[in-house]
């Protein structure tokens, strides 16, 4: 299975598809990540708050896969933005993961009411300079947050990881990202199963026409939009289904029908609004 590599604005490359471990029970994480590596995933997306970095690290160590063939992302949690907390947090994450450096480190949420996300971003820049993260980025940042961190530090994040799926496309952020060379990572790419994407006419029709599953159609839509995805499943058969998305294409009309699923009123959102998480 060859997964396309795309180039970030700092020159490093990232596999466009990976495996996410949000809500994977820490006790089950070594098993699920081992399954994902066995199936062919090489990019793993975790976070300190998921409580399962140790499981990710254990699976990596057991796999024997050379470090340079893996792409590992983790994230700085919201209560670690102040002072030197980010430096302590990355050290703890690396210890749990059993790594010298992560490939990508993200500020998980901007927590705008605390007004400390610019400081957190300055600390991320230092973390990258010290070689503890090859690339740095943000998550759940809205356009005003992005504009502010770039204006105040001069450093543009490599990615912005945001809730994004056909029912919630966040076009203002994706347009800003394209204009500024920031790649979009779609979290909840399948709508977390909370939003019935698979039951929509657009997805069902494309699945019938291509002989693929609705999940494969939705993931294919993300890839053709240029987004990075890491669907989560605890089941090996779904991991195999979700990675098998490079042998077909959606045509223009199928893409347009899925594009039209976002009513642009925010009703498709399944997670918390970034301004409300502090």
Ligand X SMILES: NC(=O)c1ccc[n+]([C@@H]2O[C@H](COP(=O)([O-])OP(=O)(O)OC[C@H]3O[C@@H](n4cnc5c(N)ncnc54)[C@H](OP(=O)(O)O)[C@@H]3O)[C@@H](O)[C@H]2O)c1
Among 39, 215, 217, 243, binds ligand X (CB under 6 A): 215
Residue 107 CB-density burial (10 A; 0-12 exposed, 13-18 middle, 19+ buried): buried
Give counts: helices (H), strands (E), the chain. Answer: 10, 10
User: Closer CB to ligand X, residue 121 or residue 154?
Assistant: 121
By the rule CB under 6 A, 233 interacts with ligand X: yes
Among 144, 193, 226, 266, binds ligand X (CB under 6 A): 193
User: Closer CB to ligand X, residue 241 or residue 257?
Assistant: 241
> 176 vs 9, 73, 92, 221, CA distance in Å?
14, 23, 33, 20
Among 189, 222, 227, 243, binds ligand X (CB under 6 A): 189
Q: How many residues does the chain have?
A: 278
Number of residues that bind ligand X (CB under 6 A): 26
Strand-pair category, 5-7 with 13-15: antiparallel
Catalytic-residue membership of 50: yes
Smallest gap from residue 86 Cβ to ligand X (A): 16
Q: From the candidates 41, 50, 105, 195, give the one annotated as an active-site residue.
A: 50
CA distance 129 to 133: 8
Query: Can you list the positions of beta strands (E) in the chain?
Result: 5-7, 13-15, 19-20, 43-45, 71-76, 102-107, 133-139, 159-163, 183-187, 228-229
Helices of type H across 154-227: 171-180, 201-210, 214-225
By the rule CB under 6 A, 187 interacts with ligand X: yes
Among 147, 235, 260, 273, binds ligand X (CB under 6 A): 235
By the rule CB under 6 A, 269 interacts with ligand X: no
Smallest gap from residue 232 Cβ to ligand X (A): 3
Structural contact between residues 239 and 232, judged by C-beta atoms closer than 8 angstroms: no
- For residue 224, report the phi and psi dihedrals to the nearest 5 degrees: -70, -20
By the rule CB under 6 A, 57 interacts with ligand X: no
User: Closer CB to ligand X, residue 83 or residue 226?
Assistant: 226
98-137 binders of ligand X (CB under 6 A) = 108
User: Closer CB to ligand X, residue 37 or residue 252?
Assistant: 37
Query: Tokens 């199936």 map to which residue?
Result: 39
User: Closer CB to ligand X, residue 23 or residue 88?
Assistant: 23
16-55 binders of ligand X (CB under 6 A) = 20-22, 45
Structural contact between residues 105 and 124, judged by C-beta atoms closer than 8 angstroms: yes
By the rule CB under 6 A, 274 interacts with ligand X: no
By the rule CB under 6 A, 93 interacts with ligand X: no
From the list 5-13, 57-65, 185-193, 249-257, the region that binds ligand X by CB under 6 A is 185-193
Q: Which residues make up the interface to ligand X (CB under 6 A)? A: 20-22, 45, 108, 139-140, 161, 187-193, 215, 230-235, 238, 241-242, 271
Q: So which residues are the catalytic ones?
A: 50
């Amino acid at each position: 299975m060859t997964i396309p590599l795309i180039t970030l604005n700092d020159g490093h490359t990232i596999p466009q598809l990976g495996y996410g471990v949000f809500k994977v029970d820490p006790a089950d994480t070594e098993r699920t990540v081992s399954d994902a590596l066995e199936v062919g995933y090489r990019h793993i997306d975790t976070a300190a708050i998921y409580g399962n970095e140790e499981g990710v690290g254990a699976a990596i160590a057991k796999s024997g896969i050379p470090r340079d063939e893996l792409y590992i992302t983790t994230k700085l949690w919201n209560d670690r933005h102040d002072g030197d907390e980010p430096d302590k947090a990355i050290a703890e994450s690396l210890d749990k993961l059993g790594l010298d450096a992560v490939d990508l480190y993200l500020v998980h949420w901007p927590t705008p009411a605390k007004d400390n996300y610019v400081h957190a971003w300055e600390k991320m820049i230092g973390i990258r300079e010290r070689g503890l993260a090859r690339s740095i980025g943000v998550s759940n940042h809205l356009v005003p947050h992005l504009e502010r961190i770039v204006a105040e530090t001069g450093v543009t994040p490599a990615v912005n990881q945001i809730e994004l799926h056909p029912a919630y496309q966040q076009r203002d952020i994706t347009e800003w990202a394209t204009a500024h060379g920031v790649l979009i990572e779609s979290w909840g790419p399948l709508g977390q199963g909370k939003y019935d994407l698979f039951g929509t006419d657009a997805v069902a029709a494309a699945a019938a026409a291509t002989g693929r599953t609705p999940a494969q159609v939705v993931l294919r839509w993300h890839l053709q939009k240029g987004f990075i995805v890491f669907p989560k499943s605890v089941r090996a058969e779904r991991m195999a289904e979700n990675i098998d998305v490079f042998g077909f294409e959606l045509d223009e009309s199928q893409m347009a029908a899925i594009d039209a699923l976002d009513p642009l009123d925010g009703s498709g959102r399944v997670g918390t609004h970034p301004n409300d998480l502090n």
